[in-house]
Amino acid sequence: MLRVRWLALLSCLFAVFALTVSACGDDDDGGGGGGGGGGSTLDVYSSLPLQGASRPQTTAMVEGIKLAVEQAGGKAGDYKIKYTSLDDSTAQAGTWTPEAASANARKVAQDDAAIAYIGEFNSGASAISIPILNEVPIAQISPANTAVGLTSDEPGADEGEPEKYYPTGNRHYLRIVPKDTIQGAALASLMKSEGCGNAYILNDKEVYGAGLATNIENSAKEIGLKVLANEGIDPKAPNFRSQAAAMKSAGTDCFVFSGITANGAVQLYKDVHAALPDINLYGPDGVAESGFSDPKEGGIPADVQAKTKVTVATLSPDEYPPEGKKFFTEFEKKYNEPNPDPYAIYGYEAMKLVLDTCKKLGSDCSDKQAMIDALFQTKGRKSVLGTYDIDENGDTTLTDYGVYTIKDGELTFDKTIQAQAGG
Amino acid sequence: MEASTEAARLPVKRNTWDRVRGYIGEYGLIALLLALPVVYGIQDISQDGSLARLGNNIVDGLSNGSIWALVALGYTLVYGIIELINFAHGEVFMIGSLVSAGLFSTLGLTASTGIGGLILGLLLTLVLAMLASGSLNTMIERVAYRPLRNAPKLAPLITAIGFSFILQNVGILWIGGSPEGIPDLIDAQKELFNIGGVSISRGDVLAIAATIPLVLLLTTFISQSRLGRAMRATAQDPEAARLMGINVDTTISLTFLIGGIMAGAAGLIYALYQTTIWFLQGFQAGLIAFTAAVMGGIGNLQGAVLGGLIIGIIQQISDNRIGGEWTPAIVFAYLVMIMVFRPSGLLGEETREAG
């Protein structure tokens, strides 16, 4: 008798479970329309490395994103916007990891209410998430990626790029920072303008570092700057003294590391400066972070800072258009930070672009493909970064790069370079 | 008929191969080890007219290798006595560096500290780092290895890996996940003197000058002291040692203590020499040091030191001439070749199995 009762109870439980599942299924189907959630809330995610050397930059980006959502009242048109910040790094690695980046992309790919994915910060991480999100597809906007191969097959791209990232053959990924053909040209022209005749390039062999190194080399050759070498390093090597000694023997006038801080940058700059104390040292946006610049956070010491310059696709707050200047005022008001990290404005603009596009689409905003199409039709957008278009590859038409010196551990704006992409 | 002919041929093939292997093992290895310095030495003389560049590579290699040698001693001591690869040893070395860097700021040691204060501060740091790493290693043995003394060999190997990860996470909690630059207290890369174009920096002198007495002290202790004899007896036959009145557990603990002390010293030297510390430095150094111990002959103290120095020199020559991206491949290619032609390492194993 008791067994019969248990069986009846279990049957009821199964019945309730089955009904719940089928009800959920109905709800999903009802969303229709290109995968829209069917409700009035749409999801926007960011995936950035919130641990390790990039934390100050990515924290500033998240603050910028939240500011944009708050200014819009948490809404875009008729839809409520729910923002979720994801982390593509681990404490163990101290930087992004392929596992975390792919887990984030898969999570978002399974969310029917997701309309945009802001990320990644590192180009290598985007190389992982782009193909996953392309299959859905969901609009992906990177506020920081510069590797050429993510969007085009121009010099600096590897064989098979960018097609290998887009299995469906359609594009869904765009970025609001100039790509590395521009940064490579900016670094090469900066080195030459400061009297360098023989440049030595080392790279960290990642998607971003190796690609940018090629761009620097190509641009240098075009403007008559001799490149003595462009070599990869072992990022986990305990030191780079012998490579620094090799640079010295080769007659190096200036040095540039194409890579990210987490890949041995601090030790590398210290060793190169020790071997060649008089030469200028240059770095890309991959090292434009306090983990590299500030000795209090484990960065380079003052004597190395004095010889180091870094390029970042950001300008001085004074050089931004009125919208940009307004952003800095609002940011200071909200976070009580008069000198925000250069990347805060990119986080803000990425989210603002999503919100503005969604508002423009009206009820179609829940349609993932409509969102992608609208983003790719961005033309003459008057933004906090200046006026820009998004081209058919998903690249911005902005080309300004800022040169930063390092003073007392802080990146300090020096000047703007308007570089033309090298071949 | 054919089968019997084949069978008759096989022993001849084996003998020839063994002879070739023995020949290569005896003379080929020397040629192999000298290949890089000789080739680049000839190249330097023909291009620069001097051996200064090679000399610089060797000096840098010896100073880097000294640190690997100190870490390798810990691996080889422990393997020699209980035939366990103490995977946590690299992390004990990392903790030595972290303790040292912490003490620099606690004691207020900076690049501008006077010479007297600096020497006193560093000596105090050395003692405390050695004590910290030594006691940590002893604690690991007591907690994770001793209860498994009679368990299958795989069990302590797993607990060793487990402790390695635990300590890595301690490192992350302590200094975070990124490499961290620390004050360059001794101006490590400042040239002290120059001999015929070969530059000797303060860091080179520190690494070599600190390693030599520590290694001599250790070898003297093991060969001449009562406790050292107990260690050797335990290494040869723990049961017989126990019957002869040696407290085997205490002797094994002592071995871990000494290995940890060496790792602590290496941790401080590493911090002063590199001026960058990282929670993963122990994993990297451990891999290199274990390779050094195997290359020299596991269980053999002199072998561990020789292996460390050889790896240091190969790394520096490769970094300087071939490119840093190839260095790990070249180091391990050397290890593979040495193992194939001399499986017991350069100076031969000193373990129970090896006799």
If you average pLDDT over residues A412-421, what whole number do you get? Answer: 80
Q: What is the pLDDT of residue A171?
A: 97
Q: Report the distance separating Cα B217 and Cα B70, nearest Å.
A: 12
Q: What is the pLDDT of residue A21?
A: 38
Per-residue confidence band for A420, with pLDDT thresholds at 50, 70 and 90: low
For A110-133, how does the pLDDT look when each residue is reduced to its tens digit (9 = 90+)?
A: 999 999 999 999 999 999 999 999
If you average pLDDT over residues B171-183, what whole number do you get? Answer: 86
Q: What is the pLDDT of residue B7?
A: 47
Flag whether pLDDT at A14 surpasses 50.
no
Report percent pLDDT > 90 for chain B. 67
Q: What is the pLDDT of residue A35?
A: 39
Residue A270 in contact with partner chain B when CB distance is under 8 A = yes
Q: Report the distance separating Cα B265 and Cα B257, nearest Å.
A: 12
Flag whether pLDDT at B3 surpasses 50.
no
Greater confidence (A18 vs B88) lies with: B88
Q: Determine the distance in angstroms separating the CA of A298 from the nearest CA of chain B, rounded to an integer.
A: 4
Helix (H, G, I), strand (E, B) or coil at B110: coil
The region of weakest confidence among A250-264, A329-343, B253-267 is A329-343
**Cα nearest neighbour of A249 on chain B:** B53
CB spacing of A266 vs B323 below 8 angstroms: no
If you average pLDDT over residues B15-32, what whole number do you get? Answer: 75
Q: What is the pLDDT of residue B11?
A: 52
Per-residue confidence band for B150, with pLDDT thresholds at 50, 70 and 90: confident
Greater confidence (A14 vs A162) lies with: A162
Which of B53, B178, B323 lies nearest to residue A298, judging by beta carbons? B178
Annotate chain A with three-state secondary structure.
CHHHHHHHHHHHHHHHHHHHHHHHHHHHHHHCCCCCCCCCEEEEEEEECCCCCCHHHHHHHHHHHHHHHHHCCCEECCEEEEEEEEECEECCCCEECHHHHHHHHHHHHCCCCEEEEEECCCHHHHHHHHHHHHCCCCEEEECCCCCHHHCCCCECECCCCCHHHCCCCCCCEEECCCCHHHHHHHHHHHHHHCCCCEEEEEECCCHHHHHHHHHHHHHHHHCCCEEEEEEECCCCCCCCHHHHHHHHHHCCCEEEEECCCCCCHHHHHHHHHHHCCCCEEEECHHHCCHHHHCHHHCCCCHHHHCCEEEEECCCCHHHCCHHHHHHHHHHHHHHCCCCCCCCHHHHHHHHHHHHHHHHHHHHHHHCHHHHHHHHHCCCCEEECCEEECECCCCCECCCEEEEEEEECCEEEEEEEEECCCCC
Mean pLDDT taken over chain B: 89
Phi, psi of A418 (to 5 degrees): -105, 95
If you average pLDDT over residues B8-24, what whole number do you get? Answer: 65
Greater confidence (B57 vs B111) lies with: B57
Helix (H, G, I), strand (E, B) or coil at B353: coil
Flag whether pLDDT at A39 surpasses 70.
no
Q: What is the pLDDT of residue A226?
A: 96
CB spacing of B178 vs A264 below 8 angstroms: no
Flag whether pLDDT at A335 surpasses 80.
yes
Per-residue confidence band for A293, with pLDDT thresholds at 50, 70 and 90: very high
With contacts defined as CB-CB under 8 Å, which chain B residues touch A51?
A: 176-177
For A15-32, how does the pLDDT look when each residue is reduced to its tens digit (9 = 90+)?
A: 444 444 333 333 333 333
CB A275 within 8 A of CB A245: yes
Q: What is the pLDDT of residue A85?
A: 97
User: What is the rounded radius of gyration, in angstroms, for the C-alpha atoms of chain A?
Assistant: 24
With contacts defined as CB-CB under 8 Å, which chain A residues touch B57?
A: 242, 245
Which of B181, B315, B325 lies nearest to residue A298, judging by beta carbons? B181
Q: What is the pLDDT of residue A5?
A: 54
For A72-117, how does the pLDDT look when each residue is reduced to its tens digit (9 = 90+)?
A: 999 998 899 999 999 999 887 778 899 999 999 999 999 999 999 9
Per-residue confidence band for A52, with pLDDT thresholds at 50, 70 and 90: confident
For A193-235, how does the pLDDT look when each residue is reduced to its tens digit (9 = 90+)?
A: 999 999 999 999 988 899 999 999 999 999 999 999 999 999 8
Which B residues, 319 through 338, put their C-beta within 8 Å of a C-beta on chain A? 319-321, 323-325, 327-328
Strand spans (E) along B263-346 = 276-277
Q: Determine the distance in angstroms separating the CA of B43 from the nearest CA of chain A, rounded to an integer.
A: 14
Q: What is the pLDDT of residue B12?
A: 52
For B222-276, how does the pLDDT look when each residue is reduced to its tens digit (9 = 90+)?
A: 989 999 999 989 988 888 999 999 999 999 999 999 999 999 999 999 999 999 9
Flag whether pLDDT at A310 surpasses 50.
yes
Q: What is the pLDDT of residue A16?
A: 45
Q: What is the pLDDT of residue B32?
A: 83
Per-residue confidence band for A399, with pLDDT thresholds at 50, 70 and 90: confident
CB spacing of B319 vs A301 below 8 angstroms: no
- What the block records as the tokens of B311 is 């790896």
Per-residue confidence band for B168, with pLDDT thresholds at 50, 70 and 90: very high
Residue B317 in contact with partner chain A when CB distance is under 8 A = yes
Stated pTM of the model: 0.80
If you average pLDDT over residues A21-45, what whole number do you get? Answer: 52
Q: What is the pLDDT of residue A273?
A: 96
Per-residue confidence band for B353, with pLDDT thresholds at 50, 70 and 90: low
